[in-house]
Chain A
Amino acid sequence: MAVLETFYDVMRRQGITRRSFVKYCSLTAAALGLGPEFVPQIAHAMETKPRTPVLWLHGLECTCCSESFIRAAHPLVKDVILSMISLDYDDTLMASAGHQAEAILDEVMEKYHGNYILAVEGNPPLNEDGMYCIIGGKPFVEQLKRVASGAKAIISWGSCASYGCVQAARPNPTQATPVHKVILDKPIIKVPGCPPIAEVMTGVITYMQTFDRLPELDRQGRPKMFYSQRIHDKCYRRPHFDAGQYVEAFDDEGARKGYCLYKVGCKGPTTYNACSTVRWNDGVSFPIQSGHGCIGCSEDGFWDKGSWYARLQDVSGFGIEASADKVGLVAAGAVGAGLAAHAAISALSRVRYKGDDAQ
């Protein structure tokens, strides 16, 4: 391969007009929260930069990230992203299989050493030397470490790769471990969510492609442009929260009127993601809009934080499951009773001692 194709070449080859291409650039700029002055910059990058090879590995996962990704809302985005990133290895999407597929992996790793992006969907289980996830006859953790060694950067797709998700939920028998705890020497971008929003995934890739650098990350390694605000902050039901109007049960008047889902356990106030702005399926809806609270799928350990239908975690270990408030009230009652008894004994002993003192 003498000259690598640019995105623009690929797009034109696929019959996309120049006009559509420019539209795509403006849309992407808008999706990334950039001003119109960045549109030419994106177009320029697309026209001149060679496509970056992306190797997409799958560990312990359910493929919901891939399912989300291939549904990137705008048809143009879907077409373009899939061709533009030069997705050289993705065992669920690629035509080849078996030894052929593995051969491509080795070829890309060698040819573009230090220049390819590693996208990881799912995570490696470390227990029993990684035997709970075998890819091509070897533990996934070995493949991950091998491919990561030559990567420019790593994208952790979804909550599995970012935090561990359901396979890492207590008691985590396979010791499923998020990517950043296995690969310590590479820049890692976490794109959590179960799955992440399609436009967030394509947006992250486009940003890296366009500006040749990682997007600005927050303290936990998530791209700030999509994860710096909570669902709650931009939720269209927020006015009902501030007013004090809640759904008390899923079949009540409040539910029909679209009140706030806080009391039925919505995790919007504790979840950083872009669902309430970007939404899903071409902006059609998102969980809260369809009447169910957010389950907080893009937060660390969301499987282990208690019920999806209660705001307060239950407390186990008191014989029965009880909310913090129940335990607190019982404790307050016990302390109150104890103090009353103590006061009574104090009073009695004082009466007794009075006799001694009065001598």
Chain B
Amino acid sequence: MSAPDSAILTDGDLKGTNLDGLKARPLRARRLTTVYVYEAPVRLWHWMTAASIVVLAVTGYLIGSPPPSLSGEASSHFQMGWIRYLHFAAAWIFAVGFGGRVAWAFMGNVYARELFFIPFWKLEYWKELLDEVLVYAFVKKHAKTVVGHNALARTALFFCFTLTGLFMIVTGFALYSDGTGIDSWEGRVFGWVMPWLGGNLSTHFLHHWGMWVIILFVMIHVYTVSREDIMSRQSLISAMTNGYRTFRDDRPD
């Protein structure tokens, strides 16, 4: 491997392990650097949000295009009622989770803040962004190792998840106030949204588009995360399950 020698285990590294006393070099074992990146609340939030997005997209699609009409008495069914109930329940989980995640940005470690802004004025950010784009265009082989999100991931997350998610929450509560009434707190807080977006029907329409933006984002997210986990210089999926990010090499960039 092209990794520098420092990553190869030395005899001293084996002291106190079951391999104590063996020669390290023939084992060809490597030492990997691991950093604790995603704290427990972030991971919990991630998977809760992932589950709620699945429920929201499925039920949301069905609200727009309901399943075939049911026969029999109306009193024996509550199909659209349940679809809407699930949508609102999942929406509350998504929204409360989003709020908690914003709070955690202040309480958590430095990586917890990456979702909420992009370092627009830093030259380094643009360089890294270009680097990642070149990697994905198969021009470059590897990008820099990153502890948090790489520049491309961060950009996509900021626009397609954070801003779109916020838009979905705001339009969602505005639409929810149709049911709870214009004098409910949803109506008072989010009543400005629908006139601003050109009316009730237009708000439904844009909320529907938001769903598609998030669906496309999720597709790309799952693909790139799997790909990075296999091909990049750091682990991703394990980082979001147990919180530890492992680096496959310690090469200087």
Contacts and interface: CB of A to CB of B under 8 A. Distances in A.
Contacts of B219: 332, 335-336, 339
Contacts of B120: none
Interface string A245-273: 11110000110000100110001011110
A243 B77 contact: yes
B68 A219 contact: no
Contacts of A327: 212
A65 B227 CA distance: 63
Given A245-B74, A332-B215, A301 B199 contact: yes
Size class of A's contact patch? 35 or more
Interface string B203-233: 0110011011001100110010001000100
B64 A311 contact: yes
B202 interface: yes
Identify whether the interface residues of B are mostly helix, strand, loop, or mixed: helix
Nearest to B223: A339
A12 interface: no
B4 interface: no
Contacts of B76: 243
A229 interface: yes
A301 B64 contact: no
Contact of A245 (B2, B70, B205): B70
B76 to A, nearest CB: 8
Contacts of A240: 74
A345 B200 CA distance: 45
B223 A228 contact: no
B66 interface: yes
A248 B69 contact: yes
B205 A259 contact: no
A327 B83 CA distance: 24
Interface string A127-153: 000000000000000000000000000
Contact of B181 (A228, A325, A335): A228
A357 B141 CA distance: 12
Interface in A141-174: none
Interface in B80-121: 80-81, 83
Contact of A242 (B80, B192, B212): B80
A247 B75 CA distance: 17
B195 A299 contact: no
Contacts of B200: 270-272, 299
Contacts of B75: 239, 243
Q: Which of A220, A242, A272, A306 has the most CB of B within 10 A?
A: A242
Contacts of A267: 201
Interface stretch (A42-50, A53-61, A90-98, A346-354): A346-354
Report the 7 A-B pairs with minimum CB-CB distance, sorted nearest first.
A244-B79, A328-B212, A243-B77, A270-B200, A243-B74, A242-B81, A239-B74
